[in-house]
Structure 1
């Protein structure tokens, strides 16, 4: 937590985070536009943000794309805000947002939904994490759904309920599979919708006795879906982490806690 507060203390680093909040997945060149500093200095600031786990770098070919990682900010919010005066702060925030809406023009603007990136570290091997992502019985334990597929490129996959109904809540197609480090799938929670499916990438990076698991969810259709997965992915991955590190999932379903405030 000290490294997070240190990283946030600098106005340039806060500006970089603001730019990623406005448009996630930027290159170094895009982030440096209109900054009154050399690229080397900006790189040093980004390195500090990355070490604090506030920024995650995803490689796409020769490019390095920078994404906000919401996990540390979420931890600060949970520790320093949730337990104190959340109702009053939420009321003030709602008033502020409504005032800003009244101040805006009536001209509609296209909705730009940022990509979602989440990073967690797990004490496990890459093969263990890969199996947890692709084994139907294991996903049923920590996700409440069985992810069913042969996980070959071009194959379909289904997110089936395990309540006995056999209902399928999400479907998709496997785009790429590189065991045990990279899995890319489409994610269609509403297959009948006239839009391109969103895409989820699981990146498993081993280092000695741990792995860094990065989940990137792209091509989101709207802010509503962004809000839903922003609560869903941290809960699911926390349950996965608990299962691999302790042999047991969390004692209560973590995604239910996301809606239990108030």
Structure 2
């Protein structure tokens, strides 16, 4: 049995249990929960919940991010997306897309109808975004890909420019000849080659607090696990944007490191044309 088939079997096995599906639903509603919080939501003892979580983590459906002494659990949608691509979309993509659009519109309308107006002036909290990918590379290669201006220009379409010392400014510069800067920030932490924390300001003239991006690089033999956590998001509009942007950028990074070339077309262009 191939490694890909075995990985898919783990995903199907994990999804077959209603308790584990409930856990995924709870994380979809509120990402970044501790074990204790999940136990409260599913009404289960810690030992039983841990066994279910271990299976979800093993299948790649849940990612764990350490925050001090806490272990926070995040939903990782990539395996489910791969199931959709392999087992669903290819059969009748146009009809399924149309049905999905109708269903989504109905659900959005229902949510809008059921959500009371907020008269307190306090908006619903925006969840953190976490994305995990595995790359055949060394930690040093991934670190260089994240911090080298020439490499970021190849897979991101922007050059990330900084000396990457804590406290230093970094800039996300266009490479179309204009040298325009679309994102700026500060380096909060830099521990080559395993951890980089930066602020991320895509509207630096606004008064809102900057969001924070953490890159965690964990080497394991011939591969690394790269986890990107984007926190302190100001609104759900930005969450929607980065939820499309980060997977596209990191797919291009992965392709560059594993094959020597970025993807033949910029993957974020698919998102731009999705509703064309």
TM-score (norm 1): 0.95
Relative to structure 1, the CA distance from residue 188 to residue 34 in structure 2 (aligned partners, 3 Å threshold; closer, same or farther) is closer
Q: Give the stretch that moved more between structures: 170-179 or 4-13.
A: 4-13
Please list the CA deviations of residues 18-57 of structure 1 after superposition, one character each: whole Å capped at 9, or x if unmatched.
Answer: 2212221111111111533321110010111101111111
Asked whether 1:155 is paired with 2:142, we answer no
Whole-Å Cα distance in 1 between the matches of residues 115 and 198 of structure 2?
38
Between Structure 1 and Structure 2, how many residues are aligned? 262
Q: Shift in Å at residue 74 of structure 1?
A: 2.4
Asked whether 1:5 is paired with 2:12, we answer yes
Whole-Å Cα distance in 2 between the matches of residues 110 and 198 of structure 1?
17
Q: Shift in Å at residue 132 of structure 1?
A: 0.4
In the alignment, what sits opposite 2:151? Answer: 138
In the alignment, what sits opposite 2:127? Answer: 114
Q: 1:51 aligns with which of 52, 58, 75?
A: 58
Q: Secondary structure at the match of 1:258?
A: helix
Whole-Å Cα distance in 2 between the matches of residues 220 and 167 of structure 1?
23
Relative to structure 1, the CA distance from residue 34 to residue 232 in structure 2 (aligned partners, 3 Å threshold; closer, same or farther) is closer
Q: Is the 8 A contact 2:196 2:214 kept in 1?
A: yes
Please list the CA deviations of residues 80-112 of structure 1 after superposition, one character each: whole Å capped at 9, or x if unmatched.
Answer: 454421122211220232134224433456222
Correspondences of 1:224-243 after superposition (within 5 Å): 224-243=237-256
Whole-Å Cα distance in 1 between the matches of residues 131 and 165 of structure 2?
24
Q: 1:176 aligns with which of 189, 199, 212?
A: 189
Whole-Å Cα distance in 2 between the matches of residues 182 and 100 of structure 1?
38
Q: Shift in Å at residue 190 of structure 1?
A: 0.4
Correspondences of 1:67-146 after superposition (within 5 Å): 67-83=74-90, 84=93, 85-107=96-118, 110-146=123-159
TM-score (norm 2): 0.90
Correspondences of 1:209-248 after superposition (within 5 Å): 209-248=222-261
Asked whether 1:40 is paired with 2:51, we answer no
Q: Shift in Å at residue 152 of structure 1?
A: 0.3
Q: Give the stretch that moved more between structures: 169-178 or 85-94.
A: 85-94
Please list the CA deviations of residues 201-227 of structure 1 after superposition, one character each: whole Å capped at 9, or x if unmatched.
Answer: 000000001000000000111111111
Whole-Å Cα distance in 2 between the matches of residues 104 and 224 of structure 1?
18
> Following superposition, which runs of at least 4 residues in structure 1 exceed 6 angstroms of deviation?
none
Q: Secondary structure at the match of 2:202?
A: coil
Whole-Å Cα distance in 2 between the matches of residues 14 and 218 of structure 1?
25
In the alignment, what sits opposite 1:200? Answer: 213
